[in-house]
Structure 1
Amino acid sequence: MKKVFNIGGVSFNSVIHLDEFPNPIPTTIHHCKFKETVGNTGAGKAVTLAKLGFDVTFHSLIGDDIYAEKIKLYLDQPNLKFIHDIDLNGTERHLNLMNKKGERISIFMNPMTDEPNIEYNKFDEVIKKSDFVVVNVSNYCRNVLPVCKSHHITIWTDLHDYDGHSEYHQDFIAASDYIFLSSDNLKDYKIFMKKMIDRGKKLVVCTHGRKGATLLSQNGWIEVSAIKNYKVKDTNGAGDAFFSGFLYGFAKGCSLEKCMQYGTISGGLCIQSDFIASESLSSEILEQEYLKFYTK
């Protein structure tokens, strides 16, 4: 089993599904689909990677509260070790408004502390023993980047809906070797991807939701289409699932095109689930779906 250290991003979320986002006027919505569930980018990757057979150590901040207990219960899964520090502000909580297109408005009701009192060198051993290190863009995680660099560790990161300018993301961009992001707020994503490769990044992957995904490496461009057979139930976690499926193929030594195809399948399975990771996901399921869609 390949070992992954994945740091940053867990929350307990309220998710409301609407046909359309409400207009910016006072109104009353009488009926909606509603749930409360574990979310956030670190948790999405941790659970999906564990289901795909990686040995995952996941660190995040949680409060000393009932929401933290719900998170710990959900993360008590095979192949997944959850380690945490206490956030004195309480567990991070989001309110996610989802429309029928799968688009999201996310409101951080209680964000995690930006600069918690953590001794980052305590991660030395798990970082050095890991085959892959994933640093998510939670603010506190930027302080683990120098620790990784001191051990000459290759860093993977996910910039999500980066707009091409945000100062918040720059430390993560500078330190990372493998970059994932979405094109939601970056219409000139190919320019950004080319700039990253020119700066020496190993590869950059940009996802486009229903329009598939794009990869650029030193060997050129790869485009993959989304799989239309997967019907949208909830898009939360889809980007993290794509990342995890890609890493599954990468760890097996697959071609970059096949890694992108694994990512596409993993993301597709995720959007059919009510949770941040498909309940039925496994490496066996991923391989079965690969045979179904990519072999003749």
Structure 2
Amino acid sequence: MSNIIVVGSISTDFIVGADKRPLVGETIEGKSFTTDFGGKGANQAVACARLGANTTMLGAVGGDEFAERLLQNLQNNNININNVERVTHSPSGSAVITLVKGDNSIIYVPGANAKYSPLDVEIYFKNKKDEKIDLVLVQNETKVETVESLIDLCNLENIPVLLNPAPARTITKDTIEKLTFLTPNETEFKALFPNEILEDVLMQYPKKLIVTLGSKGAVFHDGKTIIKVPSIPVENVMDTTGAGDTFNGAFSVAITSGLQMEESIKFGNLAAAIAIQNEGAQNGMPILDEMKGKIEYEKKWDIK
């Protein structure tokens, strides 16, 4: 069983469904409203845990009524929450999601997530003793100083680290060199590497940079050539909100279970394809038995 540490946001999603997005100054009638568990960190932790990884969450919740629900949800998914900070003077994180024909746009309010500091990361690493860590998974909904401190500590201790740079923000070449994996989507890639050609950047970071392309799959460089890994076709797309988080969690489980990079991406694509057939970021995230029941699951993956 893989041991994965997820460092990131823990939030509540407020989801509004509509036939279109309103113009500036326009009021329209929505079709649905739901609340759900979210935050890219929590989403990726749930994806890892449901696929069998021993998963520990590092992050922060606030002092409001949402905090206990958020923590209980993580526990219900067999995630270790002993190192989640409670910030009593701040609200928990939240996101307002507009969902139109399966595609989403999001306004994210970090709340307590912004209070999770480099010191919190340092304390965890100081106290973790000799615990085996196969991979640390982090995103950009935690403040930049905390993410950079985490990457530096992982680098010093030779712990593999995957950065999912969502939302996109500037990243230095020095930081990229310290990463084991970097997984932007197309939009994030363009923000990270403006005016650069995808193929050229893939060649610059072989076996490290994975660019996810939505319905077109994902692409990476294996050290010899560029490999395109197609997505799994889905006829009935309900909600793409958690697709990227599901992919990153599933990829993390696969790569730490001994699969090669291309196979790990295929595994992530299958998990994401299952997830987007359900509403909500976490609701459709598959368990391992569900993955194994799909015709696209390859027996050679042998993930336990």
TM-score class normalised by the smaller sequence: 0.7 to 0.9
Residue number in structure 1 paired with 2:302 = none
Q: Is the 8 A contact 2:166 2:188 kept in 1?
A: no
Closer, same or farther in 2 for the Cα pair 1:73/1:182, shift >3 Å? same
Distance in 2 of aligned mates of 1:176 and 1:20 = 39
Q: In the TM superposition, what is the alpha-carbon distance from 1:20 to its structure 2 partner? A: 1.8
Give the total of aligned pairs.
289
TM-score (structure 2 length as normaliser):
0.83
Task: Label 1:81 to 1:293 Cα distance change in 2 as closer, same or farther (>3 A).
Answer: closer
Mapping of 1:209-288 within 5 angstroms?
A: 209-279=214-284, 281-288=286-293
- One-letter identity of the residue aligned with 2:65: I
Is 2:204 the counterpart of 1:203? no
**Does residue 133 of structure 1 match 2:139?**
no
Offset of residue 39 of structure 1: 0.8
* Distance in 2 (alpha carbons) for counterparts of 1:20 and 1:127: 52
Q: State the one-letter code of the partner of 2:247.
A: F
CA distance in 1 between partners of 2:93 and 2:199 (Å): 31
1:168 Cα deviation from its structure 2 partner: 6.0
What CA deviation, in whole Å up to 9, does each residue of 1:95-126 have, x standing for no partner? Answer: 11122151323243747325648443322227
Q: Which moved more, 1:273-282 or 1:28-37?
A: 273-282
Alpha-carbon shift at residue 245 of structure 1 (Å): 2.1
Would you say the 8 A contact 1:89–1:113 is kept in 2?
no
Deviates more, 1:4-13 or 1:228-237: 228-237
- State the distance in 2 between where 1:223 and 1:245 align: 18
Displacement after TM superposition at 1:217 (Å): 3.0
Aligned to 1:177: 180
1:7 aligns with 2:19: no
Q: Distance in 2 between matches of 1:122 and 1:99?
A: 42
Code of the aligned partner of 2:236? K
Alpha carbons of 1:274 and 1:31: their partners in 2 closer, same or farther (altered >3 Å)?
Answer: same
1:276–1:172 distance in 2 versus 1, CA, 3 Å: farther
What's 1:103 paired with? 104
Unmatched tracts of structure 2, length 5 or more: 300-304
Q: TM-score normalized by structure 1?
A: 0.85
Aligned mates of 2:123, 2:235 — CA distance in 1? 42
Answer yes or no: is the 8 Å Cα contact 1:206–1:215 preserved in 2: yes
Which whole-Å deviations, capped at 9, do the CAs of 1:229-251 have from their partners, x for residues lacking one? 35221211110111122223323
Bigger mean CA offset, 87-96 vs 243-252: 243-252
Could you tell me which amino acid in structure 1 is paired with residue 121 of structure 2? Y
Computed over aligned residues only, the root mean square deviation of the Cα atoms, in angstroms, reads 2.8
Structure 2 CA distance, aligned partners of 1:184 and 1:19?
24
Q: Residues 212-261 of structure 1: CA distance to partner in whole angstroms, max 9, x if unpaired? A: 22122323222122222352212111101111222233233233332221
SS in 2 for 1:47: helix
Find the counterpart in structure 1 of residue 156 from structure 2. 150
The amino acid that maps onto 2:137 is V
Cα offset, 1:280, TM superposition: 6.7
Any gaps of 5 or more consecutive residues in structure 1? none
